Amino acid sequence: MKRTSTMKQFSLNSRSIMIFSLIVVAAISSIFFVFPETIKAQSEEKVFVTHTGGIVKTTGEIIDPLYVESTMEFDPMEYLRDFDYGKTSPLPDGTTLREYTIIAEDDKIMEVSPGVFYNVWTFNGSVPGPTIRATEGDTVRVNFINNGSKQHTMHFHGIHPAEMDGVFESVGAEGGRFTYEFVAGPAGVHPYHCHVMPLEEHIVHGLYGVFIVDPKEGRAPADEMVMVLNGLDTDFDTENNFYAANTIPFYYQHHPIQINTGELIRIYVVNMVEFDPINNFHLHGNLYKYYPTGTDLVPSFYTDMITLSQTERGIMEFEYQYPGKYLFHAHKVEFSEKGWIGIFLVSDDDSDSEQETPTGDTNEYGT
């Protein structure tokens, strides 16, 4: 009772009440200002399936690089079996000249994963750049045009004269030109990349590609593909936010690579991951013959797991006996859970009625 009388004395004072109520109103309204979502109306429900098969209903949107389809500017499926043999012409000494035109740019903003936009630096508009392919002994002539805003070069791994190394001859921005010319060799799979300082910056933004030198005697006909294992550091903290085979995270998981049972598969694999010291390649339900750097025609390993350091590369050959879906991924699980994972969809297709074009390409070079 006494308490209420004191309270009455309180309430008698209109000014103090006013100030009190002002503070209370300000406090309450600020809480509403901070939590506007509670006022929003509910919308239609959507359903999605998690990676482990759980079903989740939501009234909002689904964000998932694995299941959300997105039209990518860069098509990893097209890149996979795309080889640039150049414009060929015979040289007086009877060897072949292969001419390529490579244009560097550094202003492209590309959607690298659904909703994630990243400034890629490109050779011929893509990351990785085109797969340049020649036969050992061919003369390779690359007309390099730098349309970027910074200096860039092309540095090929392989054997060539010092002035063709693309290190000390920076090619100026906004239309600088340089012609790289050398004899392709040794046979194998090599990377090429920009070699302008700061090197890390130029490489991680995407200025790299694959250079395949076929041995003169050729390799056995096969369904051939190129896989560049790369990472994307989208927030520039020297840690990769995404990993992938051929740039787009999870791409080959929701677009499985279709191959046939009993058909020889040959993968030219190049590790271009920066920041992380190693990467690896694990194949499910099978083992592969591995030719490190592809320089020897005799495989060094028969395994389902190889470890690759920076720019380490090689050739993998295998055949699937049983049809079905087989994963391939980094067994460094962090990488696979950030996108470096894919699926081979193996069809029981013994008949050779449906021949893939890449095999045709290889036939051109096979014996």
Partner 1 sequence: MTQILSKKHQQETQTNMELDKKPSRAKTLASGLVPFVFVIILMIYIFGPGSELLDFGVPLPEVTIEMVDFVDSEIHTTVRNTGSIPVEIVMADVNDRIQPAAVEPDRFLERYETALVRIPFEWNEAEPYRIGITIEDGTRFEKEIEAAAPRLEPSLELIGFFAIIGTYVGIIPVMIGLMWLPFIRRLSKNKYHFFMALTVGLLLFLGIDSIEEALEASTENLASSFNGVLLVATVTILSFLGLYYSSEKLIQRVKDSPYAKPVAIALMISIGIGLHNFGEGLAIGAAIGLGQVALSTFLIVGFALHNTTEGLAIASPLAKEKKSVIGKLAAMGMIAGAPAILGAWLGGFMYSPFSAVIFLSIGAGAIFQVIIVIMKWLREENKNSFSSASIVSGIAAGMLVMYLTSIFV
Min dist. Cβ of residue 76 to partner 1 (A): 17
Using only C-alpha atoms, the chain has a radius of gyration, in whole angstroms, of 28
Binding residues vs partner 1 (CB under 8 A): 1-3, 6, 9-10, 12-13, 15-17, 19-20, 22-23, 26-27, 30-31, 33-37, 40, 43, 46, 48, 50-52, 54, 56, 58-67, 112-118, 232, 234-235, 241-242, 249, 333-334, 337-339
Going by C-alpha positions, the residue among 314, 286, 284 that lies closest to residue 300 is 314
Smallest distance from partner 1 to CB 201, Å: 15
Q: Of the two residues 34 and 298, which places its CB atom closer to partner 1 in the complex? A: 34
Nearer to partner 1, 115 or 360 (CB): 115
Name which of 68 and 278 has its Cβ closer to partner 1. Answer: 68
In the complex, least distance from residue 181 CB atom to partner 1, rounded to whole angstroms: 38
d(CA 92, CA 98): 14
Which two tokens mark 14?
């209109």
- Choose among 80, 121, 82: nearest CA to 103: 121
CA distances from residue 359 to 81, 246, 266, 349 in whole angstroms, order as listed:
10, 20, 10, 15
CB of 10 to partner 1, least distance (A): 6
The residue (of 96 and 280) whose beta carbon lies closer to partner 1 is: 280
In the complex with partner 1, the residue whose CB is nearer, 18 or 305, is: 18
Instruction: Tell me the closest approach of the beta carbon of residue 226 to partner 1, in angstroms.
Output: 24
Task: Report the C-alpha gap between 189 and 130 in whole angstroms.
Answer: 14
Q: How far is CA 129 from the centre of its chain?
A: 11
Q: Least distance to partner 1 from the beta carbon of 231, Å?
A: 12
- Gap between the Cα atoms of 334 and 19, Å rounded: 57
Q: Is 2 or 174 the residue whose CB approaches partner 1 more closely?
A: 2
Using DSSP bridges, classify how beta strands 324-329 and 279-283 pair: parallel, antiparallel or unpaired: antiparallel
In whole angstroms, the minimum distance from the beta carbon of 24 to partner 1 comes to 10
What's the CA gap between 228 and 226, in Å, rounded? 7
Is 222:266 a contact under the CB 8 Å cutoff? yes
Closer of 142 and 232 to partner 1 (Cβ): 232
Contact 308, 229 (CB under 8 A): yes
Distance between start and end Cα atoms, the chain = 107
Type and span of the H or E element at 75: none
